[in-house]
Structure 1
Amino acid sequence: MRQPKFRHSLLALAVASVVSMPAYAQQDEPTEENEVKGLERIEVTARRKTESLQEVPVSVSSFGAGDLEELGVEDITELQQRIPNTTLQVSRGTNSTLTAYIRGVGQQDPLWGFEPGVGVYIDDVYIARPQGAVLEVMDLERIEVLRGPQGTLYGKNTIGGALKYVTKELSGYDEFSIQGTVGSYNQRDLKLSGQTALTDNFFVGGAIATLQRDGFGEYVNTGDDNYNKDLLTYRASAKWLLNEDMDLKFSYDKTKDESNSKGGHRLLTSLVTGQDPYDDVYDSNTAMPVDNLVETEGWSMVFNWDINANWGFKSVTASREGNTDTNIDFNSTGEPIFMVPAIYEDEQFTQEFQVSYTNNSNFDFVGGVYFYDGEACGVFGTVLPLYLEALGGVTVDNGGCVQTDSLAIYGQANYDLNDDWALTLGGRYTRDEKEAEVYRYTYLGVHYINRDPADSYGDPFAVNSEFNTKADWSRFSPHVALNYRVNDDVMLYGSYSNGFKSGGVDMRADQSLNPTINEPYDPEIVDTFELGFKSELAEGRMRLNGAVFYSDYQDMQVTVQRVVEAGISSQVLNAGQSTVKGIELESVYAATDTLNFTAVVGYIDAEFDSITYSEPATGEITDVTDAWSFQNTPKTTYSLGFNKTFEMESGQIVWSGNYAFRDDTQMFEIPSRLDQSDYGLFNTSVVWYSNSGQWNVGLHGKNLGNEEYRVGGYNFGPTFGDDAVVAYYGDPRTVSLTVGYKF
């Protein structure tokens, strides 16, 4: 049951956590003492043990369920506004595909087979693909966002950081909650969750949500909604207490997103139709069906065994799979010029065995073995009805599969040298094996894709690519941290972390344009040095944490697509050396027992030191070191907020608000018309909590200034007779009313 009194502020949990690892926010029991102080102690399980956030020497932000409810946060992308040097956005064509960047590292291209730079986890289970990774806020305990390489405890593909979505634990108590929301654009959401005990040692729980909204705009030529939402998500779980020392938990979740495919906003007048850009950036045209499906599901089984007072054992077994059917009209004119239907399919199986040890005084250790077996497949068709129109148009199918097998062994130890100094040492050895089959066929005539090329349209006019390739890589990722307790209120630390993002194969490969495209590209590697401090000042009323970091970014993977005479040439480059430097500050100040102020500031300086590539057609080496810049990495980000509580006879009213600023943002490495200039978003919420803690009513306003800001796009320039430069935008101003009941 939610207790309305003695609540921590909107970001006491989030902004106070500039420098730690995955944080589990936990409140002290309310007492007269911590009510006067204004700020509660925040506990974390960053290093697989419970400890104060102020004692953990790595960077993290953590958001508890109560804070997210208070803010009316609907999905994880809204957290971008409250974390320094972080980008969390919905990718171009769907509501469910995630674009995530932390400290300049991420994944722009959500194509199957490509690896993320920010790892996403649901209850310790790694989610390998960005499709379906825009997780809705429902029946959770907390969300943790780790910044910087997490290669030791979290493995490959976390060189930018990691995002952990932690669901609510089964307690055995009878609980039920219902929440309904209505809002702008005919928003109508319903969430149900609950749990109970079937016996003294067997608990079950579940949650379901249906999320509906009309479009922010429309496809003008068809009347269909554009930027609508039609999503169903649910989960079920069971926990068996085998005895006092062992428990077994099973979980299952499924999400089905049937929202329409998104249409982009043209930035240029069409050379074919003469259509000017629409005044409303959410309006578009399409020559394709708007049918769209993103479906993900998975199960996990977690076994915990407290062997004795010092030793513990944990096993995490999990399986997930996903399917995406989507349509992208790159020209957005209504005329069939440049259309791409696509199908993605993936499945994965993971197994982790973990042991932990603590001597309950000055030493603890966690280590284990991790296995990953995954396959990602897909096919997309480039349908060009007006290209070679005399021959009935052209269709180019690109497809294939990537099989990945990975094994990792890891360990990390923490040792208190004395009362003031503590040392952390860790490392992880990973071996990755990949095998890929890739094909690219050109057909005369206009066709839509088939899952199996054998069921296609007869013999292709040209075989552009048809090859199998394999590669393997191994890497040791160390971590070391040293922290010094200056006094009871101030801690200093320094750390070094290494991580790598796995290599792979370009699934758009066209050997007819680039004969060496079948050669796999290498992993990218980041070495990060960090210095930070954590402090509690003003007799516990102010928490101020900060960090500076320096990253040596090697062999950065960059996807480059260029229009050439014979089509579109794709390359994934290992783009040489880069340097990323930055500062992060987070603070919360309890001005009174009922008024808190918060601040989050991030500054990042990311530059290419050396980057060259060869032109496919000529083999000529091009140096673009001075011409390229980091994508999705604004130099400055900050958020300023407040939280005020008003006592009433009927309960409490909590008023909160924040202003979030993002500096100029480049969409791709090459500057383009799509680049977004700096902007700020203002949000506010007013929530009433009943004295019983059972009822709450919230009014939430987001982007109240109605800022238009781009979050993605495509930039192909003059392509097949027309300019394909289209942009996708974040949400406009919205207002919603939420009513919730819990018992």
Structure 2
Amino acid sequence: MMAGSSLAAMSAAHAQDKPQGQTAASADPQPYSDDIVVTAQKREERLLSVPVPVTAVSADRLLSEGRTRIEDYFSQVPGLSLLASGSGQNTLAIRGISTSSSTNPTVGIVIDDVPFGASSVTSYSSRLIPDLDPSDLARIEVLRGPQGTLYGASSMGGLLKYVTVAPSTAGVSGRVQANIEQIDGGGLGYGARAALNLPLGDDIALRVSGFGRRTAGFVDNLTTGEDNVDRSRSFGGRAALLWQIADNVSWTVSALAQDTKGNGANNVDVANISVLNAPLTQTRMPGTGQYRSKVTLVTSNLQIDWGDTSLVISSGYNRSVYRSMADSSPAYGPIAAQIVGVSGATFAVDYNTEKLTQEIRVERKFGEHADLTLGGYFGNERTHGAQIIDARVASTGSFFANLATIKSQTKLDELAGFGTLTLHFGRFSLQGGGRYARNEQSYPRDARGPLIGNGFSNVHSESGLFSYLISPQFNITDKVMLYGRVATGYRIGGPNPNAAAGAPASYAPDKTTNYELGLKGTFFDRLATVDASLFHIDWNNIQLSLSNPLNGLTYFTNGPRAKSEGAELALTLAPGGGLTVAATGTYNVAELTTNLPAGGGYGLDGDRLPFSSRYAGSVSADERFAIGGSAQAFVGATLTYVGKRYGDFQRTAALVRTVMPAYTTVDLRAGVDVDKWSLSLFASNVGDKRGIIGGTTNGLQQTPTGPFNYIYIRPRTFGVSVAKRF
């Protein structure tokens, strides 16, 4: 592990930032951030040469600091926001583009350029982000702004991209790592990881990896008397095979799996919405709070090169399974008491999504004058879902009667064609591109129970959408680049199965248009590295999520317009002597630009969009120094600020939005590197701040004095990590 200035792209690069085909263990460390290679445009390019605002997070650094989940590191990525819903559910937003945790996702997810997960909220997709362990990742790339031309649906706010370490024929290499951590006042966590790269000949290589971890908890259940109920266990692995069939033909196949079992929810109960620093406790019915999340991905990537022309055939199959059962007594207990005479109730969900994708693209270079990419995409999604509301005996959690059962099967097929053309005129380049996508969607649904009645429905929808990209680029010098970007992104619409009286039977797609000016480069012989951007995003026909007041179920509608505009900066200073200082800053005004319509929820012109900070940023400093022979030591600290955020829009003016106050955390780290051994010590949230990253009502209506719950960041945590490469 090399010490760097921050987790993000502007920090000193790590060995795992090498292009695919080289392993981190066999590559030499890269000393400067402009050597980092990313695949934001589906091809390997230097980070500072890509006319896209992108942050690359080092997976190696995440492991050394015990940051194994998105909620541990999202705050250090400019423009990235997270809303936690408990029991392993997280919703992401980039540049404030979101209206709810219960709408179609606005951030696309890809793993090695294969789209992962569903595009429809009826598949629970907005909350089920694949929170991959960094054990065999090279890096995580976060692309800010709409990415509809290259990546299609659900990327209207941006993209989260997991990039795995590729097999290499260069030689045998590997890595083993173990860590342990203690939450102050909470539980003990630990983990172990191993990876091996094994050439099977001159043209075949196999890479295998595996991990297991126990994530410590810190919330106590007063009803059952169990401490640290929000602990979880995760395990998984990956195998990848590279076959260099010929000098110009390579084929890589891989399989990845991860299984997470949560013992309980991490929601903290509070008496009313104004209580911000409550004891880390909850009251939950016995047998509730558990969840299980399983991720499976199989990919195939065939690349054939003919001189300046390449053919890439990328195929993928992924499966996401999620099950949980929550104590919903505050919401449905009064209804259960009225219908069947008991005061306890649970809300269980069971979702199984399978997705097949196929992309074929041709890339052609016309000397130094032009680059052309043409491609086609097909995606097939199938989700079997169930939502079950049961009446239960509150004291024991035993089943009493079913109140409602909704079983559904979401079907979505998408077909798209896309292309980009980049023209080069000396120091000036101009890129343009477009994508046309058409989707068909159906939602057969069977509803049973006294709460919702009995009935079957099958709603069908289809739509076609065009997105485009225009990006001029000017290389002021060989190391400084100025770019502009006009780009669009979109979300699909869909059926409206739980609509309240007067709500539409379906809702329409929405679209964002991004206008941006950016500067990237290194200055003063790499003393300073800068990545800065100014942006304005117009958002039309915004999708809204509302709650049916009769049964608490979610339905959807479209609103008018919103905007997101602001500035982002990442700055690294490397004055020499082993010192690196880095800073990131975000200013983001994400708000409605017209009032929400009647029946579309309560929101006025100028009201903030959900869970985005107006101000956010981080400052870090790291010092590396020799201590004798080949040994080096390092020390570092990071200060992170997350600004005030708001929750979802509410149905009426009488109901309240969640307010999540600003918070500041300080993290410390130190360690030693000796030959191929690394020892890292870390302390996160050393001030033990109660940063809120989620909050919601416990009842059907969110009132100031009603039962409420918050989700907090981890309290003060101490840990140690030991790793060896070979």
Question: Does residue 115 in structure 1 map to residue 104 in structure 2?
Answer: yes
Moved more, 568-577 or 317-326: 568-577
Equivalent position SS for 1:78:
helix
Residue among 379, 382, 403 paired with 1:375: 382
Q: Residue 141 of structure 1: CA displacement?
A: 1.2
Higher mean alpha-carbon deviation, 194-203 vs 315-324, is at 194-203
Alignment of 1:512-523 (within 5 A): 513-514=500-501, 516-517=503-504, 519-523=505-509
TM-score (norm 2): 0.87
Contact 1:305/1:312, CA 8 A, preserved across alignment? yes
Q: CA deviation at 1:622?
A: 7.0
Whether contact under 8 Å (1:93, 1:328) holds in the other structure is: no
How far is 1:438 from its partner?
A: 2.5
CA RMSD of aligned residues (A): 3.2
Q: What letter corresponds to residue 179 of structure 1 in structure 2?
A: Q
| Matches for 1:3-14 after TM superposition, within 5 Å | 9-10=5-6, 13-14=9-10
Question: Using the alignment, how far apart are the partners of 1:554 and 1:266 within structure 2?
Answer: 37
Q: Deviations over 1:52-78 (max 9, x none)?
A: 333322210012344334444323333
Residues 432-464 of structure 1: per-residue CA shift (max 9 Å, x gap): 1101113333238xxxxxxxxxxxxxxxx823x
Deviation per CA, 1:563-616, whole angstroms, max 9, x where unpaired?
3xx43253212121111111111100112231011110101111212243444x
State how 1:252-651 maps to structure 2 within 5 Å: 252-268=255-271, 279-306=278-305, 308-331=306-329, 336-384=343-391, 395-417=403-425, 419-443=426-450, 462-463=453-454, 466-507=456-497, 509-510=498-499, 513-514=500-501, 516-517=503-504, 519-563=505-549, 566-568=550-552, 570-615=554-599, 624-626=603-605, 628-649=607-628, 651=631
Distance in 2 between residues matched to 1:40 and 1:431, nearest whole Å: 38
Deviation string, structure 1 residues 635-663 (Cα, Å, up to 9, x no partner):
01111111110211151112222111011
* Identity %, equivalent residues: 21
Q: Report if the CA contact (8 A) 1:661-1:680 is conserved.
A: yes
AA aligned to 1:629 is R
Deviation at 1:132, TM superposition (A): 5.3
Structure 1 residues 332, 469: CA separation in 2 closer, same or farther (over 3 Å shift)? closer
**Secondary structure of the equivalent of 2:135?**
coil
CA deviation digits over 1:281-330, x for unaligned, max 9? 24443344343211121211111111x22000111111111221101113
For the Cα contact (< 8 Å) 2:622–2:637, is it kept in 1? Answer: yes
Displacement of 1:106: 4.2
Cα-to-partner distance string for 1:118-145 (whole Å, 9 max, x where unaligned): 0111111111245251121112211110
Output the CA distance in 1 between the equivalents of 2:239 and 2:510: 38
Aligned to 2:217: 215
Distance 1:79 1:213 in 2: 15
Amino acid at match of 2:430: L
Gaps of 5+ in 1: 271-275, 445-460, 616-620
Match of residue 735, structure 1, among 697, 718, 726: 718
The CA distance in 1 between the partners of 2:297 and 2:59, in whole Å, is: 23
Moved more, 76-85 or 308-317: 76-85
Q: Does structure 2 retain, via aligned residues, the 8 Å contact 1:179–1:739?
A: yes
Tell me the residue number matched to 1:654.
634
Change (3 A) 1:277 1:697: closer
Distance 1:122 1:372 in 2: 15
Name the counterpart of 1:102. Answer: 94
Letter in structure 1 aligned against 2:544: V
Task: Give the letter for the 2:453 counterpart.
Answer: A
C-alpha deviations, 1:212-266, integer Å up to 9, x for none?
A: 1342122222234422021112111111121111121111111111112305222
Q: Which structure 2 residues correspond to residues 147-186 of structure 1 after superposition, within 5 A?
A: 147-172=144-169, 173-184=171-182, 185-186=187-188
SS at match of 1:443: coil
Q: CA deviation at 1:720?
A: 13
Looking at structure 1, the residues matched to 447 and 101 of structure 2 have their Cα atoms a distance apart, in angstroms, of 19
Map 1:127-146 → 2, pairs under 5 A: 127-128=116-117, 129=125, 130-131=127-128, 133-146=130-143
Does the Cα contact within 8 Å between 1:559 and 1:573 map onto a contact in 2? yes
Q: CA deviation at 1:393?
A: 7.0
Code of the aligned partner of 1:427: G
Change (3 A) 1:628 1:611: same
Closer/same/farther in 2, CA of residues 107 and 673 from structure 1, 3 Å limit: closer
Give the match's secondary structure for 1:567. coil
Q: Who is 2:687 aligned against?
A: 705
- Note the C-alpha offset of 1:711: 1.7
- Indicate how the Cα distance of structure 1 residues 664 and 317 shifts in structure 2: closer, same or farther if over 3 A, else same: same
**1:322-349 residue CA offsets vs partner (Å, 9 max, x unmatched):** 2211011135799954421111111110
Partners in 2 of 1:550 and 1:654 — Cα distance? 40
Name the amino acid aligned to 2:694: G
Matched residue, 1:454: none
Bigger mean CA offset, 181-190 vs 125-134: 125-134
Unaligned runs of 5+ in 2: 118-124, 334-341, 395-399
3-state SS of the aligned residue for 2:494? coil
* CA pair 531-75 structure 1, distance change in 2 beyond 3 A: same
Note if contact 1:287-1:336 (Cα within 8 Å) is conserved in structure 2.
no
Conserved? CA contact 1:521–1:574, under 8 Å: yes
Corresponding residue of 1:455? none
Alpha-carbon separation, structure 2, partners of 1:554 and 1:384: 42
1:724–1:570: structure 2 CA closer, same or farther, 3 Å change rule?
farther
User: Shift of the alpha carbon at 1:491?
Assistant: 2.4
| CA apart distance, 1:556 | 1.3
Write the distance in 2 (CA, Å) between the matches of 1:228 and 1:622: 36
Match of 2:202 in 1: 200
Cα distance in structure 2, aligned partners of 1:406 and 1:145: 24
Cα gap change, 1:70 to 1:739, in 2 (>3 Å)? closer
Give, in angstroms, the shift of residue 93 of structure 1: 2.7
Match of 1:448 in 2: none
**What SS does the aligned partner of 2:75 have?**
helix
Displacement of 1:188 in angstroms is 1.6
Q: Which segment drifts farther, 627-636 or 733-742?
A: 627-636
Counterpart of 1:583, as a letter, is A
Quick one: structure 1 residues 514 and 699, their matched pair in 2 at CA, closer, same or farther if it must change by over 3 Å? same
Q: Secondary structure at the match of 2:239?
A: strand
Secondary structure at the aligned position of 2:208 is classed as: strand
What is the DSSP-based 3-state SS (H/G/I as helix, E as strand, rest coil) of the residue aligned with 1:226?
coil
Whole-angstrom distance in 2 between the partners of 1:673 and 1:148: 26
**Structure-2 separation of matches of 1:489 and 1:720:** 53
Counterpart Cα distance in 2 of 1:628 and 1:669: 9
| Deviation larger for 523-532 or 672-681 | 672-681
Q: Deviation per CA, 1:542-581, whole angstroms, max 9, x where unpaired?
A: 0122111111101111211153xx4325321212111111
Partner of residue 458, structure 1: none
Letter aligned with residue 359 of structure 1: F
Is the Cα–Cα contact under 8 Å of residues 288 and 339 in structure 1 kept in the other structure?
Answer: no
Looking at structure 2, the residues matched to 486 and 533 of structure 1 have their Cα atoms a distance apart, in angstroms, of 10
Deviation at 1:382, TM superposition (A): 2.5
Determine helix, strand or coil for the equivalent of 1:138: helix
- Which residue type is aligned with residue 323 of structure 1? V
Give the AA of the match of 2:302.
F
Q: Distance in 2 between matches of 1:473 and 1:593?
A: 58
**Structure 1 Cα separation of the partners of residues 518 and 488 of structure 2:** 17
Q: Specify the code of the residue in structure 2 equivalent to 1:708.
A: R
- Distance in 1 of aligned mates of 2:70 and 2:216: 21
Once the two structures are TM-superposed, the CA of residue 40 in structure 1 deviates from its matched residue by 5.3
One-letter amino acid of the counterpart of residue 632, structure 1: F
What SS does the aligned partner of 2:48 have? helix
